[in-house]
Amino acid sequence: MTTAVTVDARVLRDLLATMWRIRAFEEQVGALKRADEVHGLIHLSIGGEGVAAAVCRQLRDDDAVYSGHRAHGHAVAKGAPLDRTMAELMGRDGGLCQGMGGSMHLVDVAHGFLGATGVVGGNIPLALGSALAAKQRGTDVVAVVFFGDGAVQAGLFTESVNLATLWRLPVLLVCENNGFAEFTPRSAHTTVERVGDVVAPYPLPRQTVDGNEVADVWSAFSALLARARAGEGPALLECLTHRLRGHYEGDPDRYREAVSTEDWQRKDPILRLQRAGHDAGWLPAGEPAELEKRARAEVEDAVTWARSSPFPSAVPEELR
């Protein structure tokens, strides 16, 4: 299904550019991890860029976004600068957290990216806190939290849904359901396939969309966001995604079937939007290559900047 024509072409262009920035950034992060220039455990979201772009590009700097362990795309889409984000992953002083946080502790307060976490589901209650603060201050600020399907089996998910609905908090729960928690398929850790069904008893709108179809994510989130801003309470958006890479960089990935090239070409949210743009006439033939080139050049500049930044002084000599 494609509904790309129902979303303004200017918006779709912006989403395509954002997805390219995330893709180029993460491909480079993977390469730098293999070269031992990026440190720590790295989880890439390649294949899931559509969700990050479609959600975060509708938000303001004063809206709070929380993420989990697969957070680079959410940070970049919310406005975190590529150079300081890359520097953080490379453990440099110029990084968003002076190089002391790394991939799973990315935070960019200036752009309302309130953070990654290595604790699965751990940021869901924190997002409720931001939403409660926004409500008590009488603002129309919202909080958004991204989490995976694995986090839904944690008790704090249900506790959070309960409180969010009870207090009608302006919080948007965005689940990226890629069908796996680490190396375990969803069918091996729950009997409820759709995360939307898990929240069925609670009075909140819930919608499941194809996360590879960026226009669908944009449209669905847009409606839920408008409700939350108007004080009508929380919502859940479940986006069905496919992670192209293993759970972490270096994962031998032996627990699942490799996706065929043809299947990936069909699923890839970037290629899908480009095909839709071409068919609908809003994307000139040379533009995808231009967007990709621009994104890769920006990432190269970010790496150059990060390499020129010193390691923080607290890092022991032997780790430098």
Binding residues for ligand TPP (CB under 6 A):
69-70, 118-120, 147-151, 178, 180-182, 247
Interface with Mg ion includes 26 (CB under 5 A)?
Answer: no
For residues 236 and 176, is the Cβ–Cβ distance under 8 A? no
Residue 4 vs 174, nearer CB to ligand TPP = 174
Q: Compute how many other C-beta atoms are within 10 angstroms of the C-beta atom of residue 246.
A: 18
Q: How far is the CB of 182 from Mg ion (least distance, A)?
A: 8
Q: How far is the CB of 148 from ligand TPP (least distance, A)?
A: 2
Going from the C-alpha of 90 to that of each of 26, 39, 314, the distances in angstroms are 13, 6, 15
- Find which of ligand TPP, Mg ion, none residue 151 binds, CB within 5 to 8 Å per kind: ligand TPP
Interface with Mg ion includes 178 (CB under 5 A)?
Answer: yes
Exposure class string for 66-90: b at 16+ Cβ within 10 A, else e: bbbbbbbbbbbbbbbbbbbbbbbbb
Interface with Mg ion includes 148 (CB under 5 A)?
Answer: yes
Residue 190 vs 219, nearer CB to ligand TPP = 190
CA 85 to CA 91: how far, in whole Å?
A: 10
Instruction: Tell me the residue number closest to Mg ion, measured at CB.
Output: 148
- Find which of ligand TPP, Mg ion, none residue 218 binds, CB within 5 to 8 Å per kind: none
Interface with Mg ion includes 149 (CB under 5 A)?
Answer: yes
Residue 239 vs 295, nearer CB to Mg ion = 239
Q: How far is the CB of 243 from Mg ion (least distance, A)?
A: 7
For residues 236 and 204, is the Cβ–Cβ distance under 8 A? yes
Interface with Mg ion includes 241 (CB under 5 A)?
Answer: no
Strands (E), the chain: 64-66, 113-115, 143-148, 171-177, 180-181, 184-185, 206-210, 235-240
Joined together, the tokens standing for residue 30 give: 């993977």
Residues that bind Mg ion (CB under 5 A): 148-150, 178, 180
